Amino acid sequence: CALPILPDVAEGSRPGTSVMTVTATDKDEAVASDNGVVFYTIVGQEPKEPNPQMFTIDSMTGVISVISTGLDCEKFPEYTLSLLATDLNGGGYSTPGMAKITVTDVNDNAPIFLPTEYTESVPENDVGYEIVRLSVTDEDTPQSRAWYANYTITKGNEGGNFKVMTDRRNNDGILMKAKIGRA
């Protein structure tokens, strides 16, 4: 038993990006006549945002590609395309099909500190002491690689007295005492 392969495309993909290929077969002969030549069309797209034509299909090969900008995983994580495969090179019998396309998250949103400043007191010799939890918001998909914050102390820790770890459950930064400072 094989599981279906669901195609995906990264949010922000540019027009021309290939997503998948669909195929249909016709038992009629396609060499000497057009009876067995299949012609592909997209007849519907859900959702219709941000553009009712986010994808196009090559009528002869069945390659589905991005045609419009604006793919955004946080707003529209999945598209369903209604397809038609028509024999006689587009002038004969048709059969419907469907393609589901998942839009994957990329790191397109920076984390924002809430609040932007913290003031705390620190015990002098307590290595491992949790000083404060730093809260951020991030518009990327929660629990995705793009969502996880990586905290760095950029100034004021020249002696290496502090460290920040990320709490993977809620994306908080945990500022901790790393070593005993010297006077």
- pLDDT tens series, the chain, 183 aa: 444 557 999 999 999 999 999 999 888 766 667 777 899 999 999 999 999 999 999 999 999 999 999 999 999 999 999 999 998 877 889 999 999 999 999 999 999 999 999 999 988 888 999 999 999 999 998 988 889 999 999 999 999 999 999 999 999 999 999 987 664
Question: What radius of gyration, in Å, describes the C-alpha atoms of the chain?
Answer: 26
Dihedral (C-alpha) 24, 27, 31, 35: value to the nearest 10 degrees? Answer: -80
Q: How far is CA 127 from CA 39, 45, 159, in A?
A: 69, 57, 14
How many C-beta neighbours within 10 Å does residue 27 have?
A: 8
Distance of alpha carbon 86 from alpha carbon 140, whole angstroms: 40
The residues that bridge with 179 in the sheet, in sequence order, are none
- For residue 4, the model assigns a pLDDT of 53
22-65 residue pLDDT tens: 999 888 766 667 777 899 999 999 999 999 999 999 999 999 99
